[in-house]
Amino acid sequence: MTTFWILATLLSVIASGFIFVPLLLSGNRTQATDQSGDDVQSRNLHRNEANVSIYRERLAELESGRDSGDLSDEEFAVCKAELEQTLLSDASDAQTIGDEHSGSRWIPIGAACAIPLMAILLYADWGASMGSMADVELAQQLQLPERAPHEQRNMDVALASLQERLAEQPDNHEAWFLLARSMLTRGSYVEAVEAFDHLLISFPEDAALLSNQAQAMYLADGRRVTARVKKIMDEALSLDPNSPNVMEILGMDAFKRREYQVAIDYFNKMLRLGLGEEHAESIRDLIAQASAQLPGGAAQKQQASATKSLDVLVEIDAEIAVSKDDVVFVFARAAQGPPMPLVAKKLTVADLPTLVRLDDSMSMNPNFTLATVKEVQIVARVAVSGDVVAKSGDWQAISAPLTLDKDHSVIKLRISEAVQ
């Protein structure tokens, strides 16, 4: 909150600067062009003296015209009266300009000073009363349990405050969403479902809300895809076929039914959609657990020790500029010996990230397999040129040497190194 006020104050000062700076610059220009170099009154004095001098010259001309007979006494009187009126008018204008100039400088100066003060007062009155500041504070408090589980009391107080605010402002959608996510975080799934229901009345075709509702319902229903969960998931997928929340539910459900390859496919699709690093790591762990249950996986390796296989999770750095159609080679080669692949799999960038199983069924030479070596290295390479041989411009990732007489969990390779 302190950071917010510091930033708000800085922005107000900057806004005031747009008034102060032109005033200072105009003041400098005025002083530079003013030969008397003092103030407005001095300039007015010079102007009045000039007007008087002009008046005297014009009066002398009129008197000369009267004396020469060019002007009658009546015409002279009228012209003299007009000349005097002009002198009075010029003197009045000069005083008005001086007053306006003095006042015009103080008005914007006062406005510049008032901007920060008025912004603070108005925001404190209207902004805070509308719930903006309170919602930010509540959001910060509701996140505390994720960082400090022992501070459960803070979350209870924050939730109570949030519910009071919603009683006063039932149309505050941001607060309803904050309540729904908070209930989901703390495991109050039924309350989360109710909060999302309220939001969906106003936003019935919001794919993100529907997917969040599906997640809350799935958890509330004992982690089962019930009829109502399936209905919400179908609605979410009709609006967003790549909803990560729905993919995760489907993957978890497949995992529970022991359909491990189906689960892996859903989890791989989630990784391709892009997740936060912490979430992505948990999904990779699920992929590893599912792959261990597949035929030939870790659960059966002791019974099939003669069969050599390696599970490799291949990813690509998002910063790499490659085409989705570029070829990707994933292969194992002897750590000591010829660089030719022992076993290999051909993919495309569009397939990544994905889990690849390398075994002797992919052997390049039946006399030269995984079973014939003790250590291997796994290589994943984007062949921009399309050639099997590494060339400049390709991208790759290489594992550390792996001993094949030991069981290995999923080997993770992220393609990020440029081939020189």
* pLDDT of the chain, 420 residues: tens digit per residue: 455 556 666 666 666 566 555 655 555 555 544 444 455 556 656 666 666 677 677 777 778 777 877 767 777 776 777 766 666 665 555 555 455 454 555 566 666 566 666 655 555 444 444 444 344 444 444 444 444 444 455 666 677 777 777 777 777 788 788 878 877 877 778 888 988 888 888 888 898 889 999 989 998 888 889 999 999 999 999 999 888 889 999 999 999 888 999 999 898 888 887 777 778 888 888 888 888 888 765 444 433 334 478 889 999 998 898 999 999 999 999 888 777 888 999 999 998 999 998 988 787 776 678 877 889 999 999 999 888 788 889 999 999 999 887 777 789 999 999 998
State how far the Cα of 413 lies from the Cα of 344, in Å rounded to an integer. 15
Decide: 205 and 213 in contact? Cβ < 8 Å: no
CA-based radius of gyration for the chain: 41
If we measure between CA atoms, which residue out of 341, 312, 302, 346 comes closest to residue 327? 346
Domain stops at, among 106, 129, 152:
129
State how far the Cα of 387 lies from the Cα of 230, in Å rounded to an integer. 46
Domain stops at, among 100, 129, 158:
129
Residue 89 inside a domain? The answer is yes
Domain stops at, among 95, 129, 163:
129
Residue 8 inside a domain? The answer is yes
Residue 67 inside a domain? The answer is yes
User: Per the structure, how many domains does the chain have?
Assistant: 2
Residue type, 266: Y
State how far the Cα of 272 lies from the Cα of 417, in Å rounded to an integer. 20
Residue 144 inside a domain? The answer is no
Residue 163 inside a domain? The answer is no
Identify the sign of the CA torsion 293, 297, 298, 299.
positive
Q: What are phi and psi of 314, to 5 degrees?
A: -105, 125
If we measure between CA atoms, which residue out of 174, 178, 195 comes closest to residue 143? 178
Residue 412 inside a domain? The answer is yes
Q: Which residue has the tokens 């000039």?
A: 50
Residue 195 inside a domain? The answer is no
Neighbours of 273 (CB within 10 A): 11
Q: CA of 267: how far to CAs of 151, 241, 251, 358, 403, in Å?
A: 33, 14, 6, 19, 28
**pTM for the structure as a whole:** 0.44
Identify the sign of the CA torsion 250, 255, 259, 261.
positive
Residue 116 inside a domain? The answer is yes
Structural domain boundaries enclosing 36: 2-129
